[in-house]
Amino acid sequence: MNINKYTLTFFVTLAALSASFAQKIRPVDRVNPWVDAANSRWFFFNSATRPFGMVNLSPDTGVNSDWGSGYRYHSDSIRCFSHLHDWQLSGIPVMPTVGAFNGHKGNQQYGSRFSHQTEVVKAGYHKVMLDAYQITAELTSTTRVGFHRYTFPESDQSHILFDFSTFLGPSDTQKGYVKKVSNQELEGYAIMAPTTRRPKTLTVFFVAVFDKPFDTLKGWRKGQLEEVDKVIGGEKTGVYVSFKTRKNEVRRMKVGVSLVSEEQARLNLKTELPHWDFDKTVADSQNDWNSWLSRIEIEGGTETEKSRFYTDLWHALLGRRIISDVNGKYADMTGPERLIKQIPLGADGKPKFNHHNFDALWGAQWSLNTLWHLVYPEVTESFVNSMLLMYADGGLIPRGPAGGNYTFVMSGAPSTPFIVSAYLKGIRGFDIAKAYEGMRKNHFPGGLMSKAGYEHNTMKGGGIEYYIERGYVPHPLTNIKYGYHQDGSTQTLEYAYQDYTLAQMAKSLGKTDDYNLFMKRAGNYRNIYNAEIGWMWNRTLDGKWGAPVDILRYDNGWEEGNAAQYTWFVPHDVQGLINLMGGREAFTNKLNTSFEKASEHDFVSGKSHDKETLEHLRRVYINYGNQPCMQTPFLFNFAGAPWRTQYWTRQIIDKVYSGISPDSGYSGDEDQGLMGSLAVLLKTGIFSTSGGTTPKPYYEISSPVFSKITFHLNPQYYKGRQFVIEARNNSATNVYIQSAQLDGAALNKPWVWHSTVTNGGRLVLNMGKDPNKSWGSKPEDAPESMSSHP
């Protein structure tokens, strides 16, 4: 095992944790938040947060940018600690300081250098020494409350500031407001400016309470200090409380947050954190995380592999956050006015589900659809209900909402396969008729398929009318860019897949006409397959093939990818794509050649997002730093070469999703758990190319990293207690399946039914170092797709 300084530091910490707990190392103890932290996007890094928590309280070493901000491992200074790090959400930055106050001069002045040598980072906890002030800051949280513990030096001038004049992550702070409730409590709000993606302002309300009284409250406005009686508000403002401290005096602060009101922030605080026991809150957070992470139990593998696995799973439960309050109140921003509404309550008086904030479900068919629906079905159900809440409020099921706003991020209707997959797997705790109605609307003019990325004010960039009339979306569509991601060929492929998925729900609901309509549209992918070049390609408004042909050119009809990558994007009809390419052998050879070329650059277009943006690095056949290629190694299972699936998935894991270095780990845009989820699936050896949207969902099998994986199933949704995958004789070299048994009977197919898994049982894979090219290779062994039955 290659031991670098990051690995060594982490395992020293792990050993210390093990000794202090004097117990078996838990999954939560293996989580390493520093993985890929050198390349952080605003919402990527997490420490003091809960699963899907509204609050992600962590240090900001960078501000004023969506990319390159938040916590960046190689930065040497902390600007502030802020409470929201989410898709288009930010707010409530604070900082403890000592000495002459200079917070009004900006975070470049009041920030502090720090060292990783005195830093402790764990799931649910962050500790760091602020060198400029000799203050030890410790952070933890509940779902909606940030909890701070600061150990101060002796000083006559100790302070805690709240800065409402700074630009955090994706947006500037338009205005701030703070009111002194008492000498131990403040309340107020920050109005965060609109962004290209989130078109309306976002108001973040807070209540801050202190365990000891402060002596004075003062503030500043536009860089100038001013006296504060009880209230200050307006542009470029801030406040600070001051007090004297003895050496090593501890001051604690709790900050409740809400997107509804100060009263709701106070309710969140009192409900979730009624006490002042910081250590108890850390322990509660760790136990909370451990409960979630323990649903997948692994045996075998190296310590690094175990650590990375639970870090990947942790990421899968992080980025897509709760934005409703503890009693179910939420802010509806879908219309012209901000409205406060209520999530329905259950018999226990608690909200039936949470309202959520998340980046697009674009690409989630290959990650969240499989992982969440199987392991966390209650999360799936909450997200479906959250999307239907927005449909009731604003008339559209969203692609990716931000703070109650529609953002129209990315393209297509990726919520359709997410919801359909849930329905087909028996996750049905939502209004099924309303869900179908909303999804169907999105597949016609006036729905999401009418809108390109961030197309807020028009409905032209999606090209759905052309798709319906001609069977493809032309590229270029027009000389006007109505939105981002206006890439007709990608839109054609997405719409065809999403139409197929909706057809399956239509069939289940007895909607025969809709089924026939959407199944016909599902074949539209064929209209952009250029047989002369053997790749998918752009078609122009006049129906001709685009020129010149360059299958490696990024964008140019292809959303965050190119034609070489998108040619394989037919998740619902791999057999149909095989037929277009001339049969199994031709298909396999072309795909394998793509992987051989991609292996030369480790299957990515750069090891970080800043590299991924370079044009020459984008000219690649396969890119595992983004979503469009996630399914590609599993396509061999459909073409009679499962052994190649087993080989290439292990190669991808090794080159892209291994190790615990801060300098790499996701090789691009982790996108709020999509890559973490994918890594978990690759390492457990199951996947779903169709996103679980075939009439009877199934999982394809690859080569798991661990010798034993146990999925502990939620009994409220699935009757099986657990499903076990056992890989015998498994190792870094023994990556090939020699034979398999399912519940004691021989299994000769490289896939299993979803219902088989959820009914509970055991899959045994006998591994070896040489491929068994006959296992699962017969045509009748292939997983089912749309053209399997002519």
With a cut of 50, say whether residue 22 has pLDDT above it. Answer: no
pLDDT band at 200 (very low <50, low <70, confident <90, very high): very high
SS3 186: strand
Contact 201, 212 (CB under 8 A): no
Q: Band the pLDDT of 569: cuts 50, 70, 90.
A: very high
Least confident of 256-260, 261-265, 623-627: 623-627
pLDDT value for 611: 67
How confident is the prediction for the chain on average, in pLDDT?
95
Cα-based distances in Å from 570 to 232, 300, 425 = 57, 35, 21
In angstroms, how far is the first alpha carbon of the chain from the final one? 50
**CB-based contact 765:708 (threshold 8 Å):** no
What's the pLDDT at 10? 52
Per-residue pLDDT, 665: 87
Q: In the numeric block, which tokens belong to residue 144?
A: 């909606």
Range name among 502-506, 605-609, 643-647 with the lowest pLDDT average: 605-609
Domain(s) labelled CATH 1.20.1610.10 in the chain stretch across 296-319+357-701
Question: Quick one: pLDDT at residue 2?
Answer: 41
* pLDDT bracket for residue 66 (50, 70, 90): confident
Q: Which residues pair with 206 in a beta bridge?
A: 188, 257
Query: Is pLDDT at 717 greater than 80 in this prediction?
Result: yes
- Owner of token pair 């939560």: 28
Q: Does the pLDDT of residue 223 top 80, yes or no?
A: yes
Q: How confident is the model at residue 20 (pLDDT cuts 50, 70, 90)?
A: very low
Summarised one tens digit per residue, pLDDT across range 300-327 is 999 999 999 999 999 999 979 999 999 9
Average pLDDT of the residues in 656-666: 93
How far apart CA 339 and CA 62 sit, in angstroms, is: 33
- Enumerate the CATH 2.70.98.10 domain ranges in the chain, comma separated: 31-286
Q: How far apart are CA 58 and CA 33, in angstroms?
A: 11
Q: Tally the C-alpha atoms within 13 A of residue 530's C-alpha that lie toward its C-beta.
A: 20
- Could you name the CATH architecture of 296-319+357-701? Up-down Bundle (1.20)
Report the range of poorest mean pLDDT among 11-20, 491-500, 521-530: 11-20
Q: Out of 3.40.50.1000, 2.70.98.10, 2.30.30.760, 3.30.1330.60, which CATH number does the structure's domain 31-286 have?
A: 2.70.98.10
Q: What percent of the chain has pLDDT over 70?
A: 96
Cα dist from 567 to 223, 492, 493, 694, whole Å: 55, 12, 9, 21
CB 501 within 8 Å of CB 691: yes
pLDDT exceeds 80 at position 184: yes
Cis peptide bond N-terminal to 476, omega within 30: yes
From residue 311, how far is each of 18, 297, 389, 665, 760 by CA, in Å? 17, 13, 31, 10, 26
Q: Flag whether pLDDT at 4 surpasses 90.
A: no
Residue 18: which pLDDT band, with cuts at 50, 70 and 90? very low
DSSP H helices, 407-447, are: 415-424, 432-442
Question: Would you call 711 helix, strand, or coil by DSSP?
Answer: strand
Looking at residues 438-467, what average pLDDT do you find?
98
pLDDT of residue 21: 43
Which range is least confidently modeled, 2-6, 214-218, 406-410?
Answer: 2-6
* Confidence (pLDDT) at 609: 61
CA distance 111 to 62: 11
Asked if residues 394 and 334 have their Cβ atoms less than 8 Å apart, the reply is yes
Say what the pLDDT of residue 510 is.
98
Ranges assigned E (strand) in 613-721: 686-687, 698-701, 708-712
Query: How large a percentage of the chain has pLDDT more than 90?
Result: 91
* Long-range pairs for 559-562: beta carbons < 8 A, 24 or more residues apart: 559/410, 559/411, 559/485, 559/487, 559/490, 559/491, 559/628, 560/485, 560/626, 560/627, 560/628, 561/490, 561/623, 561/626, 561/628, 561/629, 562/618, 562/619, 562/620
